[in-house]
Amino acid sequence: MSLRPFRDISRKKTKVINVGAVKIGGDNPISVQSMTNTLTTDVKATIKQINDICEEGADLVRISCPDEESTFALKEIVKHSPVPIIADIHFHFKRAIEAAENGAKCLRINPGNIGNEKKIHEVLSAAKNNNCSIRVGVNAGSLEKDILEKYKEPCPEALVESALRNIKILEDQNFFNFKVSVKSSDVFLSIAAYRQLSKVCDYPLHLGITEAGSFVSGSIKSSIGLGTLLLDGIGDTIRVSLSDDPVKEIKIGNEILKSLNLRNRGVKIISCPSCARQAFQVIDTVKILENKLSHIKTPITLSVIGCVVNGPGEAALTDIGITGGGKGSNMLYLSGVQTEKVLTEDIISKVVNLVEKKASEIKNK
């Protein structure tokens, strides 16, 4: 059973591009990505982190290639990555060429910062020859000097003008396999810039609030910024930027999409904050269940409510539900129907078994 969304979000139809085997834009699922924070030249550590990020549910992973050693390490790294790799290249055109030739499926660059037209042409040729897409990554902290002088400070109009300038550079070279971002650490600036760009651009948009901060503050800022835009139907791929483990970025990104019913992966737990009415320790139970069910990738809804005030109503809308009852005996619901009583000490094992069984049934259909 799936909770029917009160509102269906109508996504803006954008062009479709390919980042390796992942399609971005159009009706394709909104992809979630993160970025490694290991030294790229430490191949073993980087591969491990990529695998950890992917295990959490990433569709794409970006790595930084600041020097020649990093772009050459990329050749070995991509062999072991389960998802397409995006190479982060800011200024040096040779790094972009090397990254494309060594297996990157997307280059994060600003064409206007690469240099003269000859250098840009060489980068685009390498991208075309190696089936490599590009992300035009405009950032409020690194706008072109003349645009910053024109507007005096980063503003939505400045970010959009920079994006359109870089888009034209690619289009003039007959290169169209690209996506665009206009990021800022300011939530309001980011939202306004993306809204303006969406009105004048049909290329897929990569959403993000850059340098969002630590886990708590960054997650909140990203949820507000990305959530607002996604509700507007804007956005084709997202990255939550946190000063924390990149695995957490994927977790938060997927939770944002889950909360908007834009994409469902794994177990969605609906749980109460707990109070004196709870018949079992809800908070501890949810933490344990989140950990024990983290390997489940099949979309399943689970309600964990401590008492009968809201428990039956929430259980009626989820695949599996557990509602607190009296004297250590709690009610189990399957597809909204009361099934059996479960002792408090058996809740974890019972729910885990049922979720795993449900996931297997869905997978084998």
To the question of pTM greater than 0.75 for the whole model, the response is: yes
For the record, the structure tokens of 305 come out as: 């409510």
Q: 4 in a domain, yes or no?
A: no
> Do the Cβ atoms of 136 and 166 come closer than 8 Å?
yes
Per-residue pLDDT, averaged over 37-57, amounts to: 97
Instruction: Please list the alpha-helical segments (H only) found in the chain.
Output: 43-55, 68-77, 93-101, 111-114, 117-129, 145-151, 156-172, 187-200, 215-231, 246-259, 282-292, 311-315, 347-363
> Do the Cβ atoms of 172 and 155 come closer than 8 Å?
no
Out of 259, 277, 311, a domain closes at: 259
Same domain, 291 and 226: no
Report pLDDT digits (tens) over 191-215: 999 999 999 999 999 999 998 899 9
Task: Return the pLDDT at 2.
Answer: 47
Measure the CA angle with vertex 15, ends 14 and 16; round to 5°. 115
Over 60: is that where the pLDDT of 120 sits?
A: yes
Report pLDDT digits (tens) over 333-352: 999 999 999 999 999 999 99
Amino acid at residue number 191: I
Same domain, 255 and 275: no
Over 50: is that where the pLDDT of 1 sits?
A: no
Give the total number of structural domains in the chain.
Answer: 2
Same domain, 188 and 120: yes
Out of 220, 237, 259, a domain closes at: 259
Same domain, 202 and 272: no
Over 90: is that where the pLDDT of 216 sits?
A: yes
Amino acid at residue number 90: H
Task: Return the pLDDT at 186.
Answer: 95
> Do the Cβ atoms of 253 and 240 come closer than 8 Å?
yes
Task: Return the pLDDT at 327.
Answer: 79
Per-residue pLDDT, averaged over 168-190, amounts to: 95
Residue 110: band (very low, low, confident or very high) from pLDDT cuts 50, 70, 90? confident
334 Cα distance to chain centroid? 31
> Do the Cβ atoms of 89 and 135 come closer than 8 Å?
no
Over 90: is that where the pLDDT of 248 sits?
A: yes
Q: 1 in a domain, yes or no?
A: no
Biggest CA-to-CA distance, the chain: 77
Report pLDDT digits (tens) over 264-306: 888 999 999 999 999 999 999 999 999 999 999 899 999 999 9
The CA R_g of the chain, rounded to the nearest whole Å, is 23
Task: Return the pLDDT at 363.
Answer: 84
Amino acid at residue number 101: E
Same domain, 144 and 278: no
Q: 2 in a domain, yes or no?
A: no
Residue 7: band (very low, low, confident or very high) from pLDDT cuts 50, 70, 90? low
Report pLDDT digits (tens) over 217-247: 999 999 999 999 999 999 999 999 999 999 9
Same domain, 242 and 202: yes
Amino acid at residue number 281: Q
Domain hosting 321: range is: 267-363
Same domain, 281 and 332: yes
Q: Within 13 A of 136's CA, how many CA atoms are on the CB side?
A: 30
Same domain, 59 and 141: yes
Over 50: is that where the pLDDT of 176 sits?
A: yes
> Do the Cβ atoms of 209 and 187 come closer than 8 Å?
yes
Out of 259, 279, 307, a domain closes at: 259
**Phi, psi values for residue 306, rounded to 5°:** -75, -15
Q: 3 in a domain, yes or no?
A: no
